Structures are given as structure tokens and as C-alpha cells.
């Protein structure tokens, strides 16, 4: 699905090797526009669209909360409860976004337990 191939690119972490400040500014602007679209779409009445976007939305929320351990833990728990199961895992690319959340919480001693659970769930989906 194009959402996960093209649209999600706006939210992938920047390449630290990139020294082009103009390109980084464009990426930042694109992320802001994409986030506005994502926020609007996640509140849409079309439940199929919301289901498709939910794992990406949770990953973006985790990125935004990367310095807030409590919020990050809640997002990771919600992701585990709602995204690591059945069709969601493959159809909505939940594994990809789960790994990105894992990267954000890995190494945080307060989130060690949820991190292990998330990581294990991604590599042994139901």
C-alpha cells in the first residue's frame, strides 16, 4: 500500500550522514505537512483507513514523545495491545513500525520490560 511505501517516508528518521541543510529543511517541512494529513486521516470516519494508518500514527506519536518516558511507555503498550496480531502485523506493516518504536525505547531502563515484550512480539507474531 502506498501509505506505507511513500507517505511514511516523511516520518523516517533523518540520515545523520546528510549534511545538506536545504534538504533537511525540506524534509522537516514535508514531515509537518504529512503529520497534519495523518492527524486528519486518523480521525476520519472511514474505519478501514484508520486501521491502515494506526501503526504509523502510533510510531509518529512515539517519535514525538521520545523524551517522555511515561508517554512513550503508554504508546508502546497500546501498540502491543492493538497492532501485534493477525493481519495487522503484515497488512499494515506493524512489524516495521514496532521496530522503530523499539529503537526509541531501547536502552531506557524504565521501559526495559515493555521493550523486551515488544521486541519478542515482533519476532514471534501470533
Give residue 109's domain range.
Answer: 2-123
What's the domain count of the chain?
1
Task: Look up residue 89 and give its three cell numbers.
Answer: 502485523
Q: Which of 77, 69, 112, 68 is nearest to 98 (CA)?
A: 77
Return the C-alpha cell found at 19. 549534511
Angle at 124 between CA 109 and CA 122, to 5 degrees: 50
- Better pLDDT: 3 or 16: 3
Please state, in angstroms and rounded to a whole number, the distance separating the CA atoms of residues 123 and 99.
10
Three-state secondary structure call for residue 18:
coil
User: What CA–CA distance (Å, rounded) separates 106 from 95?
Assistant: 16
Res 87: pLDDT: 66
Instruction: Give the span between the Cα atoms of 39 and 73, in whole angstroms.
Output: 21
For residue 46, give the DSSP letter.
-
Rounded to two decimals, the pTM is: 0.87
Return the higher-pLDDT residue of 103 and 126: 103
- Model confidence at 4: pLDDT above 80: no
The tens digit of pLDDT for each residue in 75-120 reads 999 999 988 876 667 778 888 899 999 999 999 999 999 999 999 9
Other residues' Cβ atoms within 10 Å of the Cβ of residue 84: 21
Indicate whether 8 pLDDT > 90.
Answer: no
Higher pLDDT, 42 or 25: 42
Amino acid at each position: 500500500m502506498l501509505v506505507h511505501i511513500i507517505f511514511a517516508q516523511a516520518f523516517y528518521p533523518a540520515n545523520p550522514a546528510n549534511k545538506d541543510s536545504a534538504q533537511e529543511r525540506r524534509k522537516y517541512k514535508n514531515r509537518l505537512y504529512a503529520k497534519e494529513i495523518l492527524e486528519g486521516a486518523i480521525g476520519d470516519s472511514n474505519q478501514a483507513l484508520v486501521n491502515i494508518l494506526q501503526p504509523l500514527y502510533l510510531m509518529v506519536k512515539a517519535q514525538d514523545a521520545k523524551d517522555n518516558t511515561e508517554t512513550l511507555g503508554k504508546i508502546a503498550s497500546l501498540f502491543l495491545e492493538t497492532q501485534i496480531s493477525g493481519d495487522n502485523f503484515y497488512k499494515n506493516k506493524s512489524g516495521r513500525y514496532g521496530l522503530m518504536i523499539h529503537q526509541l525505547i531501547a536502552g531506557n531502563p524504565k521501559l526495559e520490560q515493555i521493550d523486551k515484550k515488544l521486541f519478542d512480539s515482533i519476532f514471534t507474531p501470533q
